[in-house]
């Protein structure tokens, strides 16, 4: 922890934590209230990848009495959380920043920005790339005579699961950088474990996605590419640290 002229008690830290949590919750509520009027339009936009691949006569249905209200409502809450994520991360950063050294602050701030960018990138990748391919496959293999009519609540649960799966999976470079930064591992060890990483990526893809090969592969392949990106960035940091250590030794 960095030195400070003012000593904080545990109660002071708890008050600060409560304040940061209240700010984060308030941000989510503000975003949610500003979008709730457009809940149905938001759901219609999210359902476009499925509707675009449905055969003529296919439609979405509501099997529960209240699902036509609760499905868009739930989606709006989750979307408000997604949109507020940078501000939530800022509150987390503001809480932990006073206890970090100067060199740690220089690394944590870019990591928080990068984690937000990658999380949104994972969601965008699942919506614009994965959904059209997966839904086109599902609708094309439907047996003859089967009328496709997807329940709106089931569809929402499906897409939210994929949103979270791809959003979290795209955080792999951040995780690798943190692991190398804390000394838990190093880029050279990770490169040696590449065959195990390949197997692990497909296992994770199997666990986080629906039971079909297409979505599993579409998650596993980006995870492997992001793994390589994380190792590459970590190796740059390692190279800079080695050069700095060599310069310090020469000066001595």
Q: Is 95 exposed, middle or buried (0-12, 13-18, 19+ CB in 10 A)?
A: middle
Share of the chain above pLDDT 70, in %: 85
- Report the candidate in 206, 230, 205 with the shortest Cα–Cα distance to residue 220: 205
Indicate if 123 and 16 belong to the same structural domain.
Answer: yes
Residue 193 has pLDDT above 80, yes or no: yes
Indicate if 70 and 121 belong to the same structural domain.
Answer: yes
Confidence of residue 208 (pLDDT cuts 50, 70, 90): confident
Rounded distance, CA 66 to CA 53, Å?
Answer: 26
How much is the pLDDT for 67?
A: 85
Indicate if 149 and 49 belong to the same structural domain.
Answer: yes
Indicate if 100 and 45 belong to the same structural domain.
Answer: yes
How much is the pLDDT for 4?
A: 45
How much is the pLDDT for 100?
A: 67
Distances from the Cα of 102 to the Cα of 55, 109, 240, angstroms: 58, 11, 17
Indicate if 178 and 221 belong to the same structural domain.
Answer: yes
Indicate if 97 and 207 belong to the same structural domain.
Answer: no
Domain annotation covers residue 70: yes
Domain annotation covers residue 181: yes
Domain annotation covers residue 247: no
Final residue of a domain: which of 162, 187, 205?
162
Quote the number of domains for the chain.
Answer: 2
Spatial CB neighbours of 106, under 8 Å, sequence gap ≥ 6: none
Domain that holds residue 80: 8-162
State the DSSP H helix or E strand holding residue 222, giving kind and residue range, or none if neither: helix 213-251
Indicate if 142 and 101 belong to the same structural domain.
Answer: yes
* Top-confidence residue, 111 or 223: 223
- Region 75-89: what's the mean pLDDT? 90
Final residue of a domain: which of 112, 130, 162?
162
Least confident of 4-8, 25-29, 100-104, 130-134: 4-8
Rounded distance, CA 91 to CA 3, Å?
Answer: 21
Least confident of 86-90, 125-129, 139-143, 188-192: 139-143
Residue 44 has pLDDT above 80, yes or no: yes
Indicate if 228 and 155 belong to the same structural domain.
Answer: no
Indicate if 220 and 115 belong to the same structural domain.
Answer: no
Query: What is Dmax (Cα atoms) for the chain?
Result: 81
Spatial CB neighbours of 77, under 8 Å, sequence gap ≥ 6: 32
Least confident of 41-50, 70-79, 147-156, 239-248: 239-248
Domain annotation covers residue 140: yes
Final residue of a domain: which of 162, 186, 216?
162
Residue 252 has pLDDT above 60, yes or no: no
Share of the chain above pLDDT 90, in %: 19
Domain annotation covers residue 206: yes
Domain annotation covers residue 1: no
Report DSSP state, residue 184. Answer: S
| pTM exceeds 0.85 | no
Indicate if 71 and 100 belong to the same structural domain.
Answer: yes
Domain annotation covers residue 158: yes
Indicate if 232 and 183 belong to the same structural domain.
Answer: yes
Angle at 61 between CA 57 and CA 63, to 5 degrees: 145
Indicate if 99 and 221 belong to the same structural domain.
Answer: no
Confidence of residue 249 (pLDDT cuts 50, 70, 90): very low
Domain annotation covers residue 125: yes
Rounded distance, CA 233 to CA 151, Å?
Answer: 43
């Amino acid at each position: 922890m960095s030195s400070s002229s003012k000593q904080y008690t545990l109660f002071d830290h708890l008050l600060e934590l409560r304040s940061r949590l209240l700010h984060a919750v308030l941000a989510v509520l503000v975003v949610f209230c500003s979008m709730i009027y457009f809940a149905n339009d938001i759901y219609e936009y999210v359902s476009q990848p499925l509707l675009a691949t449905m055969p003529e006569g296919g439609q979405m249905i509501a099997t529960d009495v209240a699902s036509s209200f609760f499905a868009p409502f739930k989606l709006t809450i989750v979307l408000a959380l997604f949109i507020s994520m940078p501000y939530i991360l800022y509150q987390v950063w503001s809480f932990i920043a006073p206890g970090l050294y100067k060199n740690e602050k220089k690394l944590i701030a870019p990591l928080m920005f990068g984690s937000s960018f990658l999380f949104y990138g994972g969601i965008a990748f699942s919506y614009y790339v994965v959904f059209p391919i997966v839904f086109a496959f599902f609708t094309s293999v439907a047996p003859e005579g089967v009328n496709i009519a997807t329940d709106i609540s089931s569809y929402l649960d499906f897409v939210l699961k994929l949103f979270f799966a791809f959003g979290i999976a795209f955080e792999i470079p951040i995780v690798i950088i943190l692991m190398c930064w804390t000394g838990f591992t190093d880029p050279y060890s990770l490169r040696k474990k590449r065959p195990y990483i390949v197997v692990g990526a497909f296992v994770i893809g199997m666990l986080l996605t629906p039971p079909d090969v297409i979505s599993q592969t579409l998650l596993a392949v980006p995870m492997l590419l992001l793994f390589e990106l994380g190792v590459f960035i970590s190796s740059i940091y390692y190279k800079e640290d080695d050069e700095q250590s060599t310069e310090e030794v020469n000066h001595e």
